[in-house]
Amino acid sequence: MIVLASTSPQRRAILDQLRIPYEAVAPAFDEGPDGDPVEHAAGKARSVDGGGRPVLGVDTIVSCAGETIGKPRDAADAERMLELLAGRTHEVVSGLCLRTPAWEELRRETTRVTFRPLTPRDLGHYLGSGEWEGRAGAYAIQGLGGSLVERIEGDYLNVVGLPGALLVRILAARFPGTYGFG
């Protein structure tokens, strides 16, 4: 069993989907609004005592046109973010830290997401759903936000909130057969 240094429902759902047993623990790390996702993931993982079990920390940011796009403050901020992403390609970058008392793996995963052009009606419909609240980039690809997306290049689960393929590769290499991988 791993310890997930997060209370994110999306990250828990991904671990459930991949059938990776875990215990979720709130990290004692304040990531702040800016910074490197790998450093934030490490800070989260290092702030939790796994009791000898592997601890997983993850942080995800959205980047477009040189701007890091966090979680919107309100509907107007969400609209600004979605207008920036409309008809463009952006990057979803996750930092991942998997650590035990003996070792630590720090990795970065990037997925490119292209939004279709959005009309005022598209924006109004999505903003009215409220799904943008608490979401980096002001959208959730696994929900109604998927209708905004034209294509993705890379790991879909990374856009949801945890780079699943990367985690599986690390677990298979570090713990062959233990989690059903490798």
- Alpha helix locations (H) across 86-140? 120-129
Out of 3.90.950.10, 2.10.10.90, 3.40.50.300, 3.40.80.10, select the CATH number for domain 2-174. Answer: 3.90.950.10
- Work out the burial of residue 60: count CB atoms within 10 Å of its CB; fewer than 13 is exposed, 13-18 middle, 19 or more buried: buried
Q: Is 77 a catalytic residue?
A: no
* 1-49 tens-digit pLDDT: 999 999 999 999 999 999 999 999 999 988 766 789 999 999 999 999 9
* 69-120 tens-digit pLDDT: 988 999 999 999 999 999 999 999 999 999 999 999 999 999 999 999 999 9
State how beta strands 89-99 and 67-69 pair.
Answer: unpaired
Catalytic residue among 16, 30, 36, 59: 59
pLDDT of residue 116: 98
Instruction: Give residue limits of the domains in the chain.
Output: 2-174
Name residue, tokens 């990531």. Answer: 31
Query: How far apart are alpha carbons 116 and 85 in whole angstroms?
Result: 9
